[in-house]
Structure 1
Amino acid sequence: MADALRIGLFTHSVNPRGGVVHTLELARALHFLGHRVTVFAPAAPGERLFREAPHEVDLVPVPPAPKRLADRVGEHIVALREHLARRLQHETFDILHAHDGIGGNALADLAEAGRIAGFVRTVHHLDPFDDARLAAWQRRSVQQAARVLCVSPGWCMTIKREFGLDAALVANGVDCAHFGRMPSARDTALAGHFGLRRGAPLFLSVGGIEARKNSLRLLEAYIRLREELPQAQLVVAGGASLLDHSDTWRAFHALAEEVGLKTGTDLVLTGPLLDEDMPPLLRLADALVMPSLREGFGLVVLEALACGTPVVVSGIPPFTEYLEDTVIDGHALYADPQEPASIALAMRRAVEPSRRRALAAEVPPVCRRYSWPASAARHVELYRALLN
């Protein structure tokens, strides 16, 4: 490819968080468009990327995590900055693109030092940090970027309101070859491994136990629902995160213990999963429940729908920005994220047999609208505009 670009993408972790998945899917699609891509990710001793990749992955060594998050973030910024500076001594990149504040600050340091011309920053969402250093790093990573991208219209508006910047909209995607309806032997093996009750309503939450994921109200909704559906299970998958969610964890487990929920049977906490286990788990679920208080997009919603699983989401942006026809078709249901009763009602409606049958008939249009090749093409368009 004569006009192939040399692209460096920066992500904050080797674990399957939404922003990391976006970065890897974008890198893969750019690679298959003929561009030369390297994904940079910090990795502590013994850590490896959660999936294989067809392009170069450069795991940047970082020390084991210190107790304070801000100290850890600072160390990662320095590690990424110094690592890239060494590579820049013998190679050049057309585009350097950060998908989080850590990579953004490493690139901002290099831009201020005159080592690079500038960088692109994708904002998936912004976090409300109490720590002044974390808040300053987050703002700097956006303000210093040569171009800001967002994955939803609502976040484009937030960037305009809070920073006065015009962010470009870039779509997410879903890999329907990976996330599909056809059961596999792994479905049965995974159900046995986690003790999932076949035939009982199985509600799945992805992303761990976090305040942003609204985990406490989800648990309250599940407790209400068990009065009608006593065999129902709640599965919480994932949870690897840089941030400290211990307060939410303690409150979540205290409530579960108070009402007598049995961990491992009523309540299944999988922890981080292998990449190949996500499609089977989504197929095993009777509904994905995502009553988040704040999301950039919610990639797993598209992945669940592609697997033929109905979804319950908060009736707020970004979900209302791309799921309207899916709600009309009955494949997705909105809930008030502030009201456990509303979440419980949507969960009950989501497991009506007619919804699963309707989803089994065809892939929802929303899954056809969003593809990673289309997202990559949009990125290339914006990259070239910046270079010109």
Structure 2
Amino acid sequence: MRVALITYSTKPRGGVVHTLNLAESLSRLGVDVTVWSLARGGDEGFFRSIADSVRQRLIPFPDVPDETVTDRIVRSINVIGHSFAYNDYDIVHAQDCISANAVGTCIRTIHHLDRFTTPVLVECHEKAVVDPYARICVSQAVADEVRDGWSLHPTVIPNGVDYARFASAAADSPAAEARRDEWRTRLGHYVLAVGGIEPRKGSIDLLEAYALLRRDHPDLSLVFAGGETLFDYRDYRADFDRRQSELGVAPIVLGAVDDAALPSLVAGCDAFAFPSIKEGFGLAAMEALAAGRPVVTRELPILREVFGDVVTYAGEVPSLAARLDAALRGDHPRAEPGRVLARGLTWEAAARSHIEFYEQHPHPRVDRTA
């Protein structure tokens, strides 16, 4: 079976992490896998090394100064569509809205549903849900949204978790302790959020909760790691910067963190904050559980489904601050149930479910040479 997995970026976004781990697990089970992606700004590879058994096809995507978000997304779709070797594969599996629009007839994983106001982007989002001939969601809650909105019935295949990598970072070994201590020396005691500064991640809410926390935890740092997207959140980032000035706080914004260093950063935090207002699964929070960290998430049906009672849930800013304060004081769910949950979600199991899905949904052959 020859499978193409298509994603829109080489950066460590959740969907890209999913794509690479799925590709490697499929290849270990004997599937011939090629990962396709845009290579923006001169990128020569993905944010981490990939198993040699997985082929890579990176499509050059040079930056265009002053390009609008809509124009960049439309260009992304066109560039992938013109480059993709459609008839080389038995299964074409798009991992996001952009790649689904680019390749047309495909299987689509719908990680979460977005809301757009620009007509072009609304149309792209609609087509990426409706046009694929088969669909996968990583949680039942997202599948229910698709059912309610479009009367379609995706199959649910949860994410896997690289449990060993994050659990090892939290181990008692001298090497693991030294790596955590490096972060603590640099950052002090810190609450960590992974995923960048953007509206969907609830970044400004977390900033305001941090300002409340500082009253009782004056030496506490708030750390943001990650963040890379085709969307332009400069207005939101300007609001974020303005708000931190008004609040008199200065979070530490690390940007993209080297993949090898990320587990120790997660394992070294005092609490992990996940205040997203929209999610499809919550992979970063699951990785924090694998590292044995207390996790505070937004009160969302999707996160209730995925995490059950192994995390603490919060609503608006005062609640978020209160739940983080409790976590910092040691009042949070025991770590072991969270570890058990994370350990049980393997990429091998996800890959086996995908292979079964591919076999049940063979590709409708389309003559792309006509």
1:176 and 2:163 correspond: yes
Equivalent residue, structure 2, for 1:348:
325
State which of 212, 216, 220 in structure 2 corresponds to 1:228: 216
Residues 42 and 61, structure 2, Cα contact 8 Å, conserved in 1 = no
- How many equivalent pairs are there? 353
Equivalent residue, structure 2, for 1:204:
192
State which of 286, 308, 311 in structure 1 corresponds to 2:270: 286
Q: Secondary structure at the match of 2:48?
A: coil
Please report how far the alpha carbon of residue 167 of structure 1 lies from its aligned counterpart in structure 2 after TM superposition. Answer: 0.6
Equivalent residue, structure 1, for 2:146:
159
The 1:147/1:75 distance shift into structure 2, 3 A limit, reads same
Give a deviation string over 1:189-208, Cα, whole Å, max 9, x none: 3444xx211xx3x1001111
Q: Provide the rounded CA distance (Å) in 2 between the counterparts of 1:260 and 1:323.
A: 34
State which of 19, 38, 54 in structure 1 corresponds to 2:34: 38
Residues 42 and 60, structure 2, Cα contact 8 Å, conserved in 1 = no
Please report how far the alpha carbon of residue 185 of structure 1 lies from its aligned counterpart in structure 2 after TM superposition. Answer: 3.7
Give a deviation string over 1:327-350, Cα, whole Å, max 9, x none: xxxxx10001xx211000110111
Please report how far the alpha carbon of residue 363 of structure 1 lies from its aligned counterpart in structure 2 after TM superposition. Answer: 6.0
Gaps of at least 5 residues in structure 1 are 109-117, 327-331
Identical-residue share of aligned pairs (%):
36
Residues 190 and 277, structure 1, Cα contact 8 Å, conserved in 2 = no
Map of 1:90-129 to 2, 5 A cutoff? 92-108=88-104, 118-129=105-116
Please report how far the alpha carbon of residue 385 of structure 1 lies from its aligned counterpart in structure 2 after TM superposition. Answer: 0.2
Please report how far the alpha carbon of residue 325 of structure 1 lies from its aligned counterpart in structure 2 after TM superposition. Answer: 3.5
The 1:57/1:97 distance shift into structure 2, 3 A limit, reads same
Please report how far the alpha carbon of residue 131 of structure 1 lies from its aligned counterpart in structure 2 after TM superposition. Answer: 1.1
The 1:148/1:362 distance shift into structure 2, 3 A limit, reads closer
Equivalent residue, structure 2, for 1:324:
308
Counterpart amino acid of residue 151 in structure 2: G
Q: Secondary structure at the match of 1:7?
A: strand
State which of 345, 353, 356 in structure 2 corresponds to 1:370: 345
Q: Secondary structure at the match of 1:179?
A: helix
State which of 123, 126, 135 in structure 2 corresponds to 1:139: 126
Gaps of at least 5 residues in structure 2 are 364-370
Counterpart amino acid of residue 384 in structure 1: E
1:74 and 2:74 correspond: yes
Please report how far the alpha carbon of residue 72 of structure 1 lies from its aligned counterpart in structure 2 after TM superposition. Answer: 1.1
Residues 290 and 343, structure 2, Cα contact 8 Å, conserved in 1 = no
Residues 170 and 378, structure 1, Cα contact 8 Å, conserved in 2 = yes
Counterpart amino acid of residue 60 in structure 1: I
1:13 and 2:13 correspond: no
State which of 259, 268, 292 in structure 2 corresponds to 1:308: 292
Q: Provide the rounded CA distance (Å) in 2 between the counterparts of 1:94 and 1:184.
A: 46
* TM-score, normalised by the number of residues in structure 2: 0.91
| Range that drifts further, 61-70 or 73-82 | 61-70
